[in-house]
C-alpha cells in the first residue's frame, strides 16, 4: 500500500510570524518579511507543475532559462469569503538550439497540459475543490 498521508507542522515565532516544518527536516518562514500564505499557495501551484514539466523536458535538454510566473486576484467576497480568482500559470522556458532542444520544445506544451490536467496534485486540488476541516486539538 502506498503512503498517501502528507502533513506539515507550523510553529508560531511571534505575532504573524511562523515556521513551517516538514518530516524531512525542511523549514520555511511564513509571515513578516517572508512569504504570505497566499504567496505560498501560488508557489505551490507553480512549483508543482514546474517539477512535472522540468523532469520530462530536461531529460531531452538542459533549459537555458526556466521561469514560471503564477498570479491571481485576491478578492474579499462578502458571501463566500476571501479567495483567489483568475489564477494563471505562465511558463517562460527556453532550450538550446539543436535536436535535443527541439525535442524539449516539442514536449513542453504536452507536459504543461498533462501536469495541469492530471499530475499536479496542488492545482488539481484547487480546481476540483476539497473540503478543509479546522479542528482544535
Q: What pLDDT score does 12 carry?
A: 97
H/E stretch holding 19 reads: strand 17-21
State how far the alpha carbon of 92 is from the alpha carbons of 4, 48, 63, 109, in Å.
32, 16, 10, 12
Model confidence band, residue 1 (pLDDT cutoffs 50, 70, 90): low
- pLDDT tens per residue, range 80-115: 999 999 999 999 999 999 999 999 999 999 999 999
- In the predicted model, is pLDDT for residue 2 greater than 80? no
Grid coordinates representing 37 are: 500564505
- pLDDT tens per residue, range 64-79: 999 999 999 999 999 9
CB proximity list for 1: less than 8 A, separation 6 or greater: none
Residues 72-76: contacts with CB under 8 Å, at least 24 apart: 72/42, 74/38
- pLDDT, mean over the chain: 96
Model confidence band, residue 45 (pLDDT cutoffs 50, 70, 90): very high
Structural domains of the chain ordered from first start:
1-35 (no CATH), 36-127 (3.30.300.20)
Mean pLDDT of 25-44: 96
CB neighbours of residue 34 within 10 Å = 15
Q: What pLDDT score does 21 carry?
A: 97
pTM: 0.91
Amino acid at each position: 500500500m502506498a503512503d498517501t498521508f502528507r502533513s506539515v507542522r507550523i510553529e508560531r515565532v511571534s505575532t504573524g510570524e511562523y515556521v513551517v516544518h516538514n518530516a524531512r527536516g525542511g523549514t520555511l518562514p511564513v509571515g513578516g518579511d517572508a512569504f504570505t500564505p497566499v504567496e505560498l499557495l501560488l508557489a505551490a501551484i507553480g512549483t508543482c507543475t514546474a517539477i512535472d514539466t522540468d523532469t520530462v523536458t530536461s531529460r531531452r535538454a538542459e533549459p537555458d532559462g526556466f521561469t514560471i510566473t503564477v498570479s491571481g486576484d485576491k478578492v474579499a467576497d462578502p458571501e463566500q469569503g476571501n479567495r483567489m480568482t483568475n489564477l494563471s500559470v505562465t511558463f517562460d522556458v527556453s532550450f538550446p538550439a539543436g535536436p535535443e532542444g527541439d525535442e524539449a520544445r516539442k514536449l513542453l506544451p504536452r507536459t504543461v497540459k498533462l501536469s495541469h490536467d492530471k499530475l499536479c496534485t496542488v492545482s488539481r486540488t484547487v480546481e476540483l475543490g476539497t473540503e478543509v476541516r479546522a479542528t482544535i486539538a
